[in-house]
Amino acid sequence: MDVIGNRRVWLVAGPSLAAILLAVVMPGQLAFLLGAAAAWAVVATFVFRSRERMEYQAAIRHMRRGDYAEAIRVMDELIKAEPDTLEHRRFRGDLHWLAGDLQRASADYERIIGQAPDLLAGYSKMAGIEMQKGNYDKAREYALTALERDKGWMAAYELGWIEDLQGSAESAVTYLERAFASGIPESRFRLLTRLWLARNYHRLGRDEDARKQIALMRKETKGLREWHAILESEPGVMMRNLYSDDISLAQQLLKAETTLEALD
């Protein structure tokens, strides 16, 4: 129950279970009590989901207006009511990040790690925070921990990115090739993975492999459009200083406006 907290489960299931127990000791009211149990489970689930949807919608409206303090206040109230729902903390952490408060964002992501140490989300977010701070060694620690717990593409992608930023070409190639082997589903992530592979093949003197990656990048024009849309949006602030230079370089390479040496 990493997303739906224990408290909500008991608020939904508790009265229904009580009604079922009463039905056992009051068989004459069996039909009524079982019907009440089923009705409560349906109504309570709908009420909680509706409330959550409304509060997220309110927070998103405030976020789009740039009123992060009010968006965070909405999520504060939701977290008070449902403290074990990790998605609430993840979203509030993102709001703190957007507002430039990396300390409070980190506190929410660390809480996710504490409550659900096997989930990728907390480690991935903390790796991003540390990268924004320029703490690449710390970012690598979080990303390595994520990779130990999740064998999918994202953790390998992040590790490849970190090694690329630090100029560790062999390690970058290893992790980025592993990300591709795990299957990268979205064009925008394939675009950057191929760019980083090209750069690190070039660093290793494997220019023919680098050119192949640039040629394959030309199949990811959709990903380039997606990145432009994301970085121009309000939530894109979180990623702008991390990705914008590489996205600009990818665009130049796709349009053949620069040479292989620009990867340096």
Taking a C-beta distance cutoff of 8 angstroms, is the pair 78, 95 a contact?
no
pLDDT of 47 reads 45
pLDDT of 43 reads 46
Give me the phi and psi of 89, to 5 degrees please.
-70, -35
Q: State the sign of the Cα–Cα–Cα–Cα dihedral 146, 149, 151, 152.
A: negative
pLDDT digits (tens, 9 = 90+) for 181-204: 999 999 999 999 999 999 999 999
Model confidence band, residue 63 (pLDDT cutoffs 50, 70, 90): confident
Distance CA(263)–CA(205), nearest Å, equals 12
pLDDT digits (tens, 9 = 90+) for 10-47: 445 555 565 556 655 566 655 554 555 555 454 444 44
Taking a C-beta distance cutoff of 8 angstroms, is the pair 244, 231 a contact?
yes
Does 53 have pLDDT greater than 70? yes
Does 2 have pLDDT greater than 70? no
Structure tokens at 154: 């994202």
Distance CA(137)–CA(202), nearest Å, equals 23
C-alpha distances in Å from residue 43, one per residue of 35, 36, 191, 198, 249: 12, 10, 45, 55, 53
Does 237 have pLDDT greater than 50? yes
pLDDT of 1 reads 33
Does 54 have pLDDT greater than 90? no
pLDDT digits (tens, 9 = 90+) for 98-150: 888 999 999 999 999 999 998 888 999 999 899 888 899 999 999 999 999 88
The closest of 151, 87, 95 to 122, measured between CA atoms, is: 87
Q: State the sign of the Cα–Cα–Cα–Cα dihedral 162, 166, 172, 175.
A: negative
Most confident of 98-107, 168-177, 248-257: 168-177
As a whole number, mean pLDDT of residues 226-254 equals: 82
Does 262 have pLDDT greater than 80? no
Q: What is the DSSP string of 148-213?
A: HH--SHHHHHHHHHHHHHTT-HHHHHHHHHHHHHH---SHHHHHHHHHHHHHHHHHTT-HHHHHHH
Structure tokens at 264: 């340096």
Q: State the sign of the Cα–Cα–Cα–Cα dihedral 72, 78, 79, 80.
A: positive
Tell me the domains of the chain and their CATH numbers.
Answer: 1-98 (1.25.40)
